[in-house]
Structure 1
Amino acid sequence: MAERNPGCDLDLAWVENSYINLPSVQRRAATLTSSRTVKKQWQAAWLLRAITCTDLTTLGGDDTDGNVVRLCGKAAQPLRHDISASLGDWTKELTVAAVCVYPSRVPAAVAAARKADNKYGVAAVATGFPSGQYPLSTRLEEIKFAVASGATEIDVVINRTLALLNKWEELYAEVQAMREACGDAHMKVILGVGELGSLTTVYRASLVSMMAGADFIKTSTGKEGVNATLPIGLVMCRAIRNYHERTGFRVGFKPAGGIRTAKDSLAWLVLIKEELGNEWLNRDLFRLGASSLLTDIERQLFHHVTGRYAAAHELPMP
């Protein structure tokens, strides 16, 4: 993994004097998909990179240890063997970045990951996911439970009320406490962008989270009305870039929610390459939070290899 972001002192002047120009953001985001295309073998290579940066996720109320173990099987071997053989034997070693589950499902996911030689991580959502509307003490205990159960990454969710009310000192203190509770586990801070009201608030919450020690900032829980969009992603990537320029520390980025197609994943990879550079195009600093994305990527790679699209039953997901 990349060197962790240790955080820094809260710079309220930087936070409160930051504003986002919405029309400019929209114009820039539009160019990412209108003027960039990746075709043929280059598209296949980018899609393989997308697989390695995917957090394969199941966050259903009906999750069981059984479906988590099946999902972990897909995480360890994301492509059918014949597709891998056609693309090159090296792709047989390909895995997703991590499996993301609820804390109570972490032990099953950890056991499955160990059988796969821990080639991918185990992430747990915590801190009153998805709302964050729980006492801080309860949220911290949830983090500690997930870490004690073996999670190597924790996706925490902020209390959006603090951001909406511009209570940046309180938000900073809460995220710092979460970072301490995570210990050696990497912390991804979910902003819940669809509930933050404006891109300016998204940018400010991104800065505060990074100052408090976030290893990643993440767009959404996937449960909001608005989740990962390119304009929002652009704003968060600019915050990451600006933070790196000021402090020298790299923070990762994870869009999540509504990312379902191979085309979607390519757009996000283009955003990262153009706004943050090649240094961020790896699982240490970029993740795609998704549940159904992998199926469409595999479908596109099947077409690249065979010249036809697979039926749904030919590319089963657990």
Structure 2
Amino acid sequence: MENRNPGTPLDLEWVAATRINRPAVERRVASLPGRRSVKKDWQAAWLLRAISCMDLTTLSGDDTPGNVRRLCAKARQPVRQDILDALEIPKLTVGAVCVYHDMIAPAVEALAGSGIPVAAVSTGFPAGLSPFHLRVAEIKESVKAGAQEIDIVLSRRKVLLQDWQGIYDEVRAFREACGDAHLKTILATGELGTLTNVARASLVCMMAGADFIKTSTGKEPTNATLGNSLIMARQIRDFHERTGHVVGFKPAGGIRTAKQSLDGLILMKEELGVAWTKPDRYRIGASSLLSDIERQLEHHVTGRYSAYNRHPMA
């Protein structure tokens, strides 16, 4: 992101005035997939853009340095070279690689010289229920280890209790602990109860200095949806119009098909403009998605669909 979001003082009147009309959101979302589509060369270009915005992610209990190194190799070369050559694309990389704290070191080593940042999930991911001082310390340790982006988990309890001052203070402290690293706040939208809560939590996090707001941990029953993405994108737009500060957006969890990635990019372009379809302002939290996009690109080049084993993740 070219400019950090410095945040603003907490404006509780603005927060209280923020409300969401669910039927209007549902109508807008229902109209999007059928009303907008891209084909042929344009579709290939948009799919390549989606790859450049991906945070390739591995957050498994059995992660090993070897697994992470292979994922980083995929991040450096996300699409087979013969496909890139056919599309006349000289170079393509993903937006970042996202790992747990103890896998930061092998990821940093494997990505050295690539320009691809390492993102680390933090603050007691995915529940965010560890003691506050330990969550702050975890951020500092991850930054010290080389993480350039920190994905923190919002306290859902504080959102459900409408404790906006508590949310603001917490995220502000996390922002300070990040130092020069970018802060991405995970709202866990599927656990916030109402769409109005999603909108208000998005706004408070941006006021507190979040550089990105992110839908989900990927561990909730409901993760990224077009409805939540629409709400969060419009809060980003309102915040930018009022303050001039730029905040990025990251849908995460449940985005598995090339079509879904295109729907997300179209939503960003229509709601926020072309600038929010680039990796400094837009990320997609996914890994399995990449294989489907590669298959679509190979079909575009050869006219034939290939098996998934021709596009391994690692």
TM-score scaled by length of structure 1: 0.98
Deviation at 1:34, TM superposition (A): 1.5
Paired with 1:231 and 1:311, the residues of 2 have a C-alpha distance of 32
Paired with 1:168 and 1:174, the residues of 2 have a C-alpha distance of 10
- Residue in 2 that maps onto 1:15: 15
* 1:79-228 → structure 2 map (5 Å cutoff): 79-88=79-88, 91-114=89-112, 117-228=113-224
Question: What stretches of structure 1 of length at least 5 have no aligned partner?
Answer: none
| Structure 1 residue 62 corresponds to structure 2 residue 58 | no
Alignment check: 8 A CA contact 1:302 1:308 kept:
yes
Alignment check: 8 A CA contact 1:52 1:97 kept:
yes
Deviation at 1:256, TM superposition (A): 0.2
- Residue in 1 that maps onto 2:264: 268
Paired with 2:175 and 2:26, the residues of 1 have a C-alpha distance of 33
Alignment check: 8 A CA contact 2:76 2:114 kept:
no
Deviations 1:199-234 (CA, angstroms, capped at 9, x unpaired): 000000000000000000000000001100001100
Alignment check: 8 A CA contact 1:77 1:92 kept:
no
Question: What stretches of structure 2 of length at least 5 have no aligned partner?
Answer: none
Match of 1:288 among 284, 300, 303: 284
Paired with 1:313 and 1:284, the residues of 2 have a C-alpha distance of 31
Paired with 2:297 and 2:52, the residues of 1 have a C-alpha distance of 14
Paired with 2:263 and 2:82, the residues of 1 have a C-alpha distance of 27
Between the aligned residues of both structures, percent identity stands at 62
Paired with 2:270 and 2:175, the residues of 1 have a C-alpha distance of 29
Deviation at 1:134, TM superposition (A): 1.4
Deviation at 1:124, TM superposition (A): 0.3
How many residue pairs are counted as aligned between the two chains?
314
| Structure 1 residue 235 corresponds to structure 2 residue 234 | no
Deviation at 1:312, TM superposition (A): 1.9
Match of 1:311 among 295, 302, 307: 307
- Residue in 2 that maps onto 1:71: 71
Alignment check: 8 A CA contact 2:54 2:284 kept:
yes
Q: Is the partner of 2:285 in helix, strand or coil?
A: strand
Deviations 1:112-167 (CA, angstroms, capped at 9, x unpaired): 010xx132111000001000111110101111111011001000011110011000
Paired with 1:249 and 1:100, the residues of 2 have a C-alpha distance of 25
Deviation at 1:250, TM superposition (A): 1.0
CA RMSD of aligned residues (A): 0.7
* Amino acid corresponding to residue 45 of structure 2 in structure 1: A
Alignment check: 8 A CA contact 1:95 1:119 kept:
no
Q: Is the partner of 1:93 in helix, strand or coil?
A: coil
Paired with 1:92 and 1:46, the residues of 2 have a C-alpha distance of 16
* Amino acid corresponding to residue 104 of structure 2 in structure 1: V
* Amino acid corresponding to residue 274 of structure 1 in structure 2: E
Q: Is the partner of 2:130 in helix, strand or coil?
A: coil
Deviations 1:167-198 (CA, angstroms, capped at 9, x unpaired): 00011000000000000000000000010000
Deviation at 1:267, TM superposition (A): 0.3
Paired with 1:16 and 1:137, the residues of 2 have a C-alpha distance of 29
Q: Is the partner of 1:123 in helix, strand or coil?
A: strand
Paired with 1:70 and 1:23, the residues of 2 have a C-alpha distance of 44
Deviation at 1:81, TM superposition (A): 1.1
Alignment check: 8 A CA contact 1:76 1:119 kept:
no
| Structure 1 residue 44 corresponds to structure 2 residue 40 | no
Paired with 1:281 and 1:79, the residues of 2 have a C-alpha distance of 19
Paired with 1:256 and 1:120, the residues of 2 have a C-alpha distance of 19
Alignment check: 8 A CA contact 1:153 1:186 kept:
yes
Paired with 1:232 and 1:283, the residues of 2 have a C-alpha distance of 20
- Residue in 2 that maps onto 1:31: 31
